[in-house]
């Protein structure tokens, strides 16, 4: 039982002294009041686990005292009434809420024996309550553990999985926020892979609590971080936050290398993290470690795949000096159009890869055709027009993951027209995938607005090899909506064109070339200096 004071409310000084002497001998602290008014005042600022109270006062009887006492505390104290048994029936005393009755007059020995028994009972009740509370907490943590285990084996993407797990850790440990740091040994630092309520953070190994855990592998569990000499308050002060209790553990990969850290901050209700919290987090840490290691490997594979695709795309464009950057620009235009049209993953990813590699078939075109400085003969045009089929042939040799299986076919159709007069198949708009329709518009726009070795023709007009004036290129796209291009795609393209032009202003496009058009289309996008 806690050593909170016991309250004695007894008007009779002699009897009060008997009780206080016994309590002193037993080593229990106590407070005394000689009437109910004094008792209520004491209870206003302090809580008492046990109240030993007289049953009869001049102004109030035992039942009234009891009710007033109970108004003050959410967790009612154990009440012992003292009095002469002739004054009240036991039914009335216990009916009013007392748990025990101490009959007057009493001797110190009688009081001691009775109080010992009461304290023992009270202790059992307290232990029972604590066990029930512990059991309830364990049940909650077990539920959280099972739920996290289910999440880890689900097919959730990593970007959704980790915030979910972090949230469940905070919930299970009743904490304000949790962060997951990944250790970067090469650069001697660690950074937040996922965090709640804080901006992404980078720390030196050894700095602060998580940096220290990352460096030494020791678990840190503290009541108040501000008392640690190595804790910097700078972040707290900048963000008007107060870090108090912290539980921070290292995470190991399958090789046994320490590669991450989980930090849980501020047990709610000003509590501290206990042994159960530590066991829970350590138990969960090994599972999180496996999932995180997979996520990191997956990221590395994805990054190396992407860099391979980008390099390949640049190599294809570099075969001709005038097409440098063409595939990259077509990809960026295509993605802007697709996002404007509300396209979601994984189609966006398919469109990205297909756009980056749409002209890869050109590596199979003879140099004297591909690099020709001037217009094509019909035979050369025929040769050139085989490049989409060659693109498909090459891309089909790639081992694309399931979600990217349609890339070769999407790329094949990038020169098709919605009126069925494109090549190589002559597909009509209703058969063309949306991704191909988008690429078709982006591809032509880039060809019109870039320098080429051959003059540009359209509807009987001949233009030079130089980039076509933007207004003219836009007019062509619009006039061919419904014949060459899909109308919705052109509408979406017009909606994101200013952004697309600004993206390459000063890079592919001379500033003046872009600014004159944007001044007409969306002057608000131009800064005052332009
Ligand atoms: Fe092409
Ligand atoms: Fe192209």
Q: Is the pLDDT of residue 529 over 60?
A: no
What is the Å distance from ligand 1's center to 476 Cα? 18
What is the Å distance from ligand 1's center to 481 Cα? 19
Q: Is the pLDDT of residue 216 over 70?
A: yes
Q: Does domain 319-525 have CATH number 1.10.3210.10?
A: yes
pLDDT digits (tens, 9 = 90+) for 16-51: 898 899 889 888 899 998 887 888 888 877 878 788
Closest ligand by atom to 439 CA? 2
What is the Å distance from ligand 1's center to 358 Cα? 6
Find out whether 103 and 113 touch, Cβ atoms under 8 Å: no
What is the Å distance from ligand 1's center to 439 Cα? 10
Closest ligand by atom to 384 CA? 1
Distance, first Cα to last Cα, the chain: 78
The torsion angles phi and psi of 312, rounded to 5 degrees, stand at -60, -45
pLDDT digits (tens, 9 = 90+) for 267-278: 988 788 998 889
What is the Å distance from ligand 1's center to 213 Cα? 54
pLDDT digits (tens, 9 = 90+) for 85-106: 666 667 766 766 677 778 888 8
DSSP characters over 153-203: TS---HHHHHHHHHHHHHHHTTEEEEEEEEEETTTTEEEEEEESSS---EE
Cα–Cα distance list, 260 to 165, 204, 252, 291 (Å): 15, 13, 7, 12
What is the Å distance from ligand 2's center to 327 Cα? 6
Write down the pTM of the prediction. Answer: 0.60
CATH of 6-125 given 3.30.460.10, 3.40.50.2300, 3.40.50.300, 3.40.50.720: 3.40.50.2300
What is the Å distance from ligand 1's center to 413 Cα? 9
Find out whether 339 and 434 touch, Cβ atoms under 8 Å: no
Q: Where in the chain are the domains?
A: 6-125, 153-298, 319-525
What is the Å distance from ligand 2's center to 401 Cα? 24
- How many angstroms separate the CA atoms of 226 and 151, rounded? 35
- How many angstroms separate the CA atoms of 103 and 83, rounded? 5
Closest ligand by atom to 414 CA? 1
What is the Å distance from ligand 1's center to 333 Cα? 15
What is the Å distance from ligand 2's center to 302 Cα? 25
What is the Å distance from ligand 2's center to 214 Cα? 49
- How many angstroms separate the CA atoms of 332 and 310, rounded? 12
Q: Does domain 153-298 have CATH number 3.40.50.720?
A: no
């Amino acid at each position: 039982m806690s050593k909170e004071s016991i309250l004695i409310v007894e008007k009779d000084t002699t009897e009060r002294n008997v009780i206080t002497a016994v309590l002193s001998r037993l080593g229990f602290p106590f407070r005394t009041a000689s009437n109910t008014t004094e008792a209520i005042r004491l209870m206003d600022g302090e809580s008492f686990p046990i109240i030993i109270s007289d049953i009869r006062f001049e102004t109030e009887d035992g039942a009234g005292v009891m009710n007033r006492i109970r108004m003050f505390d959410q967790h009612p104290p154990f009440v012992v009434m003292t009095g002469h048994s002739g004054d009240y029936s036991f039914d009335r005393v216990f009916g009013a809420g007392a748990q025990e009755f101490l009959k007057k007059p009493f001797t110190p020995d009688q009081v001691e024996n009775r109080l010992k028994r009461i304290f023992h009972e009270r202790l059992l009740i307290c232990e029972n309550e604590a066990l029930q509370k512990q059991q309830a907490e364990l049940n909650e943590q077990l539920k959280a553990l099972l739920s996290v285990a289910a999440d880890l084996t689900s097919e959730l993407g990593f970007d959704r999985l980790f915030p979910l797990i972090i949230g469940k850790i905070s919930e299970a440990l009743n904490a304000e926020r949790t962060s997951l740091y990944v250790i970067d040994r090469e650069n001697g630092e660690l950074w937040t892979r996922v965090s709640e309520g804080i901006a992404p953070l980078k720390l030196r190994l050894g700095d602060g609590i998580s940096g220290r855990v990352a460096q030494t592998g020791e678990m840190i569990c503290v009541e108040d971080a501000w008392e640690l000499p190595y804790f910097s308050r700078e972040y707290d002060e900048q963000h008007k936050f107060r870090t108090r209790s912290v539980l921070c553990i290292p995470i190991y990969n399958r090789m046994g290398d320490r590669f991450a850290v989980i930090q849980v901050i501020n047990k709610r209700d000003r509590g501290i993290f206990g042994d159960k919290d530590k066991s829970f987090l350590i138990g969960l840490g090994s599972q999180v470690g496996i999932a995180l290691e997979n996520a990191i490997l997956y990221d590395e594979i994805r990054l190396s795949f992407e860099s391979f695709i980008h390099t390949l795309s640049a190599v294809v464009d570099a075969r001709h000096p005038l097409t440098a950057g063409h595939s990259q620009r077509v990809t960026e235009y295509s993605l802007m159009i697709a996002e404007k049209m509300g396209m979601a993953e994984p189609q966006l990813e398919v469109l990205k890869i297909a756009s980056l590699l749409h002209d890869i078939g050109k590596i199979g075109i003879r140099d004297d055709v591909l690099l020709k400085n001037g217009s094509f003969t019909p035979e050369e045009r025929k040769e050139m027009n085989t490049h989409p089929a060659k693109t498909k042939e090459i891309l089909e040799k790639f081992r694309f993951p399931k979600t990217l299986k349609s890339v070769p076919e999407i790329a094949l159709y990038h020169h098709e027209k919605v009126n069925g007069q494109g090549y190589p198949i002559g597909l009509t708009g209703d058969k063309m995938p949306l991704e191909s329709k988008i690429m078709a518009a982006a591809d032509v726009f880039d060809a019109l607005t870039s320098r080429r070795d051959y003059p540009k023709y359209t509807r009987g007009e001949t233009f030079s090899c130089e980039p076509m004036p933007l207004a003219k290129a836009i007019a062509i796209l619009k006039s061919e909506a419904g014949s060459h291009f899909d109308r919705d795609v052109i509408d979406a393209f017009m909606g994101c064109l200013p952004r697309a032009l600004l993206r390459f202003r000063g890079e592919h496009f001379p500033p003046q070339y872009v600014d004159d058009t944007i001044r007409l289309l969306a002057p608000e996008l131009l800064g005052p200096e332009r």
